[in-house]
Every structure is written in structure tokens, then in C-alpha cells.
Amino acid sequence: MTDLGIDLGATSIRAGWRTPQGELQLAPADDGETAVPAAVWYASDTDIRVGQAARPGLADHPDQVVASVRTELLTTSRGRYYHGRFVLPETAAATVYEDAVQRASRHAGPPGRVMIGIPAAAGRQGERLLSNAASAAGLTQRQSIAEPVAVALHYGALQEGVDLQAVVCDIGGATLDVSVLRIRDLNVETCYAESAPLGGRAWDAALAGELLAQAQRAAPGLGGAGDSALRAAALRAAEELRIALASAPQASVLLRAGAGAAAAEVGLDRDQLVSLAGDVLARTVAAVRAGLAAADEPPDTLLMAGAASQLPCIAADLRERLGLEVRQESPELAVVSGLTLAAGLSLLFATGTAAAPAARAAAPARPVARAAQTPPPAPGTDVRDDPDPVVRDPDPRTRATPAPGAGPATAGQDATSSGTAGAPEPADPATAGGAAPEPASPGPASPAADGSGDLNGPDEQDSSPAPGGAARGTDPAPDPLDDPGPAARPGRGDQMRAQPVAQLTALRRSEHLLLTWIWPADSQAARVQWQHDGDPPERAGSARCSRRVYEHDGGFDLEIGRGGVTVTVDALVPGDDPDDQPPSSRHIDPLPSVVTYDPAVHRRLRRSLVTVTFVSDSDCELPPAQLILGTGSYRPLSSKDGTVLMELPRQRLTARQPATVSTEVPTVRGPCWLVCLRTDDDPGGPELRPLALHRLKVR
């Protein structure tokens, strides 16, 4: 099976995957195009056309076409009638998702996990709506990734040791989405997310008037400015020219109002484009500037995304007016590329919440299966008037009052659409089986003192504390308000037994461990136990993990500290026959020591003093390294990318005691980079990383 990434934009959809060599492949349509219209044409009661096949309907029968399934889904809760068929926005979006998966499967084989992009400004409600649509398309093994996070992955901004703030400027077919990301290692916080109607359509509208004038001068009998067909043709010609001018200094196309109609050649160069669309460009710069103002510190870089951002004038103007490093590398593929890369990351923490669109704020979320359970409303009825809407709680865990002084929730606890990454979504119960989920089990009970836990207890996550490790999302004590009473507790006949899980994997990120496994079909809970290296058995930790919490969080997250630990997992299945097989087990090696370095430059008239401070988190030896000065636009990755200022010998470091080295260098004009790189080939030893990536660029 192949993991897929699906980028559903306002006007088009792309599906892609990675080859074993890591190359990005895109699913083509029948005509070879990989950017397929995200549209559905209901040509008749039985004739439904998707993607490229819907193009003729856009021009000839617009009243029969959902021209943008994403816009329809996120901005209105009303369904429509097409030839007597009542169609919800979720249903149209599901049709487009299903077509994308089918096209990809013809080339990549059956899909495994499917990563779906979520617009940063869509909010939790937008994520739920897109999730419902994906569920209706049969994508039960899916994950939601915020589009700006995918863009950051595309540009390689998410790496171990990274500490930066990036602005993402995503210019799609209909909107401009500006986001500010705070990135530390693989932890991403969305600090700002706003959307404006400044996408490709705004540029096309600014160009269409000039193209109409050119066409009427070349062919006076072509039609007047009030001709709607001619106006639509001018907008299509403007889109073609805009795309062509991204790679050529000038371009021309034929403007034709319809089949058999007269045609006129129209054209533009890049200077004309900037002159005609100057107001759109200025508003784009202002929107990005607003994102910069919302950042708590100056961002390090600006990442471009979206097909409409390919125009060189956009990056050049942003670079000149904002003074930022602008990266514009295959921006039209940035989201789908990042989604396919996210499939290889099992632990990616993302936080931050963007407001949901106002048009959706008053409308309750509606599972897709609702249409099959309830007769469609009469024409003209607003779906939002439903007196009994079905709303699914996106977080199935038991609510608990936070402890006094508790900090903000981590990403695994509340990963919303503007920052959700790496957390598989549970299949919508209404979609999967047409029934609402059963009430939650009673509140968690404390495990037995020996750490074995109660196999027949409640199925929410709970844990006994263990030194250096605790299970995420656990409650210190059951909430009496959540206890449904004796009638809901499992009876003596509902005995459970332990059974080893299959394919237990453990992914370590710093002091956290993400456990994933294959559940037995009849298991709804599992027992997780862990013991730190060198600890006696009585200090082992134990936790109970419910299956629905596991599916919501994308695994079981465990904070284990930096030491080594052995983890075992048993699934709890009905039955009272003992299972002689030992539990599934994994041993996790301890983390190496981390040495951080922080460079600084004290400028003088002729020579500058360079100082580097090293701090280790434990007693260790600093490996041999080089201090490298780089004066280019990019951070040096080897000694070939700059000048070696100093050779640092191997030396002993004491935990949390700063060690400083200094040297004098000729004064360098303008900004420069100061980077320390190891020179030995030993894969072991302490890890050398910058205190903060943005501090490597000194001014």
C-alpha cells in the first residue's frame, strides 16, 4: 500500500505519493494534467462528472455544477437540488476526494494512509467538515495536516535542532492564506492565520478588462462588454496568460466566446501584468505585512505556496518591501509535497487555533450520513433549521478540570485544523455505521499497586505515576460526574483477557515516545506498561488506553524522559481463557547528551570578536568541531560553504556549566552566519545543536 497526500484547493485538487527513492509523483487525469478541477457536474440524475469531465459544464451549464467543492463546503451548510437529487456539500466534496484516490490508485496501487490538507483559517469546524467528506469517500485511514505545516515540510523547515519563525504565503485559485508558524524541532505552533480573496481569480479579474479591450479592437464584431459569455472567456484567457507569464516574459492566447464564435489574439507581458494588477499586488503585500505585525519576533523567512504565487513579481515585491528571505521553490506543489512527506513522520506536534469562517459559525456540523438517514428537506429549506442536528464531539476523552498552574495543552491533546499533524482521525461513526457513538465508559480507575492494572475496568486512559514518565491525556482521579452508575459498568460476565498486539512500533522524539500498533478486531482497550532501565519492578508504570482515544490522538503518547525504557502492550479482548503469549515489547535506548551552542559577534572598527558559548545537559565530551563563518543567503552545511574560523578540539564539559571560546576575525559587512559542525565520523557521542536557529544569523 502507498501513502497518499491530497491537496484539495479552492479550484483544483492534486493527489501525490513518494516513490521508494523519495521522489514526488502526482496522479494525472486522462489528459495528463495533475491539477484537476475540484468541481462536480450533475449533468443528469444518473450522469455525474468529476474533475476534467466537469469543465464543459462550468461554461455551458453553471447551474448544474459545484464549481468549488471546498468553498461550497466551508462557506454554506445548504444542500442543493440537481435534477431532483438533493446534494449536500459534503457529498460533492466526497465525490472529488474519491476521484483523486482512484486516479492515484491506478498508478501507485491501493492507498494506505491518506493525508488531507486543512486550510489554516478553516478552524476546527472546517476540519470536521473536510473529515466528514473524506470519510464519506471511504478514507478511513486518514490524517489531517494543516496546509502551512505541509508547506514548511516541503521547504525542509521542520528538522531536529530548528528554532525559527516562518511566514507562509499561500496564493491559491481563490484566496490568499497568510500564516505565521513558530517551529521548534518537530513542534509547530500556528500563531496567526488569515484568509483574503486575493487568489488567482482576483488577478484574472484585474487583467480581463484589458483583454476584452484588445479583443474588441482586433475583432469589432466579437461582442460588447456586457456579453456574459465574452466576459467569461476573457477571465479564462486571463488565467491562461497568468499561468504562462510565470515562466515566460510575455505570452498570448486566443480569446473565443464559445464554439464556432469569432476569436481574437490577446497578449500581455510581465510589465503590463504588474501595471494592471498593481492594486492586487499591493493588497497582497499588506496582507503579509499584517501577519508580520502579529508575530512576536521578526520572522526568519517567507515560504511561498500555491499555483498563483508562481509569478516572479510577487516574490520580488515581497522581498523588496518586507526585507525578508523569500523561498519560491515549486510553490504550486508545496502543499501536496509536504503532505506526502508528513506520511513518513509519526510524531509531529502542532498547536494553534484559527477562527472558523463566520459564514459557518452559526451552522452545526452535519455528518455526511445524515442525508441517508433523514429525508432531504423540501426545496428552499435551510439545512441549518434542522431542530435536531447531529454534532460529533471531536475529542472523545473525558473532560477534567486542569490542575492549578497547569500550562497549555500540548499538541497531542488538542490538535486543531490549523495545526493538526500526524494524528489519524477516527472514522465518523455516523458515516461508518449510521449510528451515534456509545456513551463513554466510566471514569478511569487507578491500576493495581503492582502495576498490572484491572483488565475489566473502564476503558479510558489512566495511569499509575512512574518516575520520569507519564501517559498523556490521563486524569489523576475519576470525575464523579462522568460515572454513569452501576448499570453502565461491565458485569461479571464481561470478562477480559490480555492478548499481544501486532506490529508494535515506538517512535522517540526527545523525551516523548509515540506507540502505535495493530488492534485486534474485538478489542476496545489496551494496557501499556513501562519500566526504566535500572529501576526495580515495583517502580514500573502502567496505563490503560481506550481505542477511540488512541485513534483520535494517532497513537499512545508517553513521556519517558531521556533514559532508556522497556515498554509492553497488551490488547484487552473479551474472554476468560488465559493467553500464554507474552505481551508485545520494545526497548528504547537512552538519548545521547545534547550540547547547545550560542554564537555572538561583538563588532569593532577593524576586527570583530566572535564568542561561542557551549552548554551540555549532562557531563560529556564535546566532540571535535569547526566554527564556520558564512556570508551567503543560506546557512552553511559544511566547511565548503564558508570560512573555517577555528578548530575546536575534543574537551570535557560539565552539566549545565557554560564553556566559552573566542576568536578575532576581520569585520564583515552586513549579516553573516556562524555555525559549529562536528568533524568526526563517530555517530555516537553527544548531539551538537544550536540554541536557536535564528541566532546563527548575526548582524
- Is there a single domain that holds both residue 193 and residue 321? yes
Cβ atoms of 277 and 203 closer than 8 Å: yes
Domain boundary among the residues 543, 568, 588 is at 588
Last residue of a domain, one of 541, 571, 588: 588
Of 76, 83, 62, 42, the C-alpha closest to 382 is 76
Domain-located, residue 363: yes
Number of domains in the chain: 4
Same domain, yes or no: 295 and 229: yes
pLDDT at 370: 34
Q: Are residues 117 and 248 in the same domain?
A: no
Domain annotation covers residue 443: no
* Pair (551, 625) in one structural domain: no
Q: Is residue 210 assigned to a domain? A: yes
**Domain containing residue 538: CATH number:** 2.60.40.10
Can you give the pLDDT at residue 96?
Answer: 92
Distance, in Å, from the CA atom of 70 to the CA atom of 119, rounded to the nearest integer, reads 10
**From CA 257, how far away is CA 295, in angstroms rounded?**
47
Please, how many CA atoms are within 13 Å of residue 62, restricted to the half-sphere of its CB? 6
Residues 12 and 138 reside in one and the same domain: yes
**Structural domain that includes position 285:** 159-328
Whether the full predicted model's pTM is greater than 0.75, yes or no, is no
Residue 279, Cα to own-chain centre: how many angstroms? Answer: 31
Distance CA 595, CA 654 (A): 11
Which segments of 219-258 does DSSP mark as H helices, in order? Answer: 228-245
598 in the same domain as 572: no
Same domain, yes or no, for 149 and 248? no
Q: Are 237 and 222 in contact (CB under 8 A)?
A: no
118 and 237 share a domain? no
Positions of the chain with pLDDT lower than 70, given as ranges: 77, 160-161, 221, 223-226, 258-261, 344-494, 578-579, 604-605, 699
Q: φ and ψ at 212, to 5 degrees?
A: -60, -45
**How confident is the model at residue 671, as a pLDDT?**
74
Strands 187-196, 176-184: pairing kind:
antiparallel
Predicted local confidence at residue 150, as pLDDT: 92
Among 248, 120, 231, CA closest to 172: 120
Q: Which amino acid is at 539?
A: R
> The cell 568541531 sits on which residue?
625
Q: Is there a single domain that holds both residue 560 and residue 668?
A: no
In this structure, the answer to whether residues 640 and 551 fall within a common structural domain is: no
Q: Residue 202: give its domain's CATH number.
A: 3.30.420.40
The rounded distance, in Å, linking the Cα atoms of 127 and 121 is 10
The residue type of 554 is G
Q: What's the CATH number where 674 sits?
A: 2.60.40
Residues 163 and 307 in one domain: yes
Same domain, 122 and 23: yes
Which letter, b or e, does each residue of 653-692 get, where b requires 16 or more Cβ atoms within 10 Å of its Cβ?
Answer: beeeeebebeeebeeeeeebbbbbbbeeeeeebbbbbbbe
Look at phi and psi of residue 556 and say left if phi exceeds 0, alpha if psi is from -120 to 50, else beta: beta
Q: Which of 588, 611, 646 is the last residue of a domain?
A: 588
In tens, the pLDDT along 357-394 reads 333 333 333 333 333 334 444 444 443 333 333 333 34
All residues at 6 or more sequence positions from 171 whose CB lies less than 8 Å from its CB, including other chains:
198, 199, 200, 284, 304, 305, 306, 307, 308, 309, 314
